[in-house]
A and B are shown apart, each in its own frame.
Chain A
Amino acid sequence: MRKLLAAGVFALSASIAGAAFADPVKVGMITTLSGGGAGLGVDVRDGFMLAIKQSGNTEIEVVTEDDAMKPDLAVQIADKMLQSDKVDILTGIIWSNLAMAVVPNAVNQGTFYLSPNAGPSPLAGANCHANYFNVAWQNDNLHEAAGAYATSSGYKKVFIMAPNYPAGTDALTGFKRFYKGELAGEVYTKLGATDYAAEIAQIRASGADALFFFLPGGMGIAFMKQFAQSGVDLPVVGPAFSFSQDILGAVGDAALGVKNTSQWSKDIDNEANKAFVESFQAEYGRLPSLYASQGFDTANLILAAAAKASVKDKDAFRAALKAAEFTSVRGDFKFGPNHHPIQDIYVREVVKEGDVLTNKIVGVALEDHQDAYASECKM
Chain B
Amino acid sequence: MQTALLIEQILNGLQFGVMLFLMAAGLTLIFGVMGLINLAHGSLYMVGAFACAAVAAATGSFWLGLAASLVAAAAAGAIIEVSVIRRLYDRDHLDQVLATFALILIFSEGTRWIFGSFPLYLDIPPLLRGAVPLPGGSAYPAYRLAIIAVGIAVAIGLYLLISRTRLGMRIRAGESDREMIAALGVDIRTLYTVVFALGAALAGLAGALVGALQSVQVGMGEPVLILAFVVIVIGGIGSIKGALVGAVLVGLIDTLGRFLLPMALAGFMDASSAAGIGAALASMLIYVFMALVLAIRPQGLFSAQR
Contacts and interface: CB of A to CB of B under 8 A. Distances in A.
Interface of A: 33-36, 38-39, 42, 164, 169, 172, 183, 186-190, 192, 194-195, 197-199, 201-202, 204-205, 218, 221-222, 225-226, 229-231, 246-247, 249-252
Given A35-B219, A164-B279, A230-B131, A201 B118 contact: no
A36 B215 CA distance: 9
Given A186-B272, A189-B279, A250 B216 contact: yes
B62 interface: no
A229 B143 contact: yes
Contact of B279 (A42, A187, A194): A187
Nearest to B132: A231
Chain B's interface: helix, strand, loop or mixed, by majority? helix
Interface of B: 1-2, 4-5, 8-9, 12-13, 15-16, 108-109, 112, 117-121, 123-124, 129-131, 138-139, 141, 143-144, 210, 212-220, 223, 255, 258-259, 262, 271-272, 275-276, 278-280, 282-283
8 contacts: A188-B262, A195-B214, A197-B16, A222-B213, A226-B141, A229-B131, A231-B131, A231-B141
Given A169-B276, A198-B258, 15 more contacts: A42-B118, A164-B276, A187-B275, A188-B262, A188-B276, A189-B258, A190-B258, A195-B16, A197-B16, A197-B255, A218-B217, A222-B215, A231-B139, A247-B119, A249-B119
Contact of B5 (A187, A194, A202): A202
A246 B139 CA distance: 32
A201 B131 CA distance: 12
Query: Which 8 A-B residue pairs are closest in the complex by CB-CB distance?
Result: A221-B215, A231-B131, A188-B279, A197-B12, A222-B214, A250-B119, A35-B219, A218-B215
A189 B1 CA distance: 23
Give the interface centre of B12, B139, B212 by most chain A CB atoms within 10 Å: B12
Contacts of B144: 197
B215 A190 contact: no
A225 B214 contact: yes
Contacts of B2: 205
B131 A190 contact: no
A217 to B, nearest CB: 8
B219 A36 contact: yes
Nearest to B143: A229
A249 B1 CA distance: 36
Nearest to B109: A34
Given A230-B131, A231-B131, A204 B16 contact: no
A349 to B, nearest CB: 20
A218 B220 contact: yes
Given A197-B144, A229-B143, A187 B262 contact: yes
Contacts of B129: 229
Contacts of B218: 34-36, 38
A204 B138 contact: yes
Given A36-B219, A204-B138, A231 B12 contact: no
Contacts of A172: 272
A250 B4 contact: no
B143 A194 contact: no
Contacts of A183: 271
B112 A221 contact: no
A186 to B, nearest CB: 5
Nearest to A219: B215
B121 to A, nearest CB: 5
Contacts of B8: 201, 204
Given A197-B255, A247-B118, A252 B279 contact: no
Nearest to B123: A252
A21 B12 CA distance: 63
A218 B283 contact: no
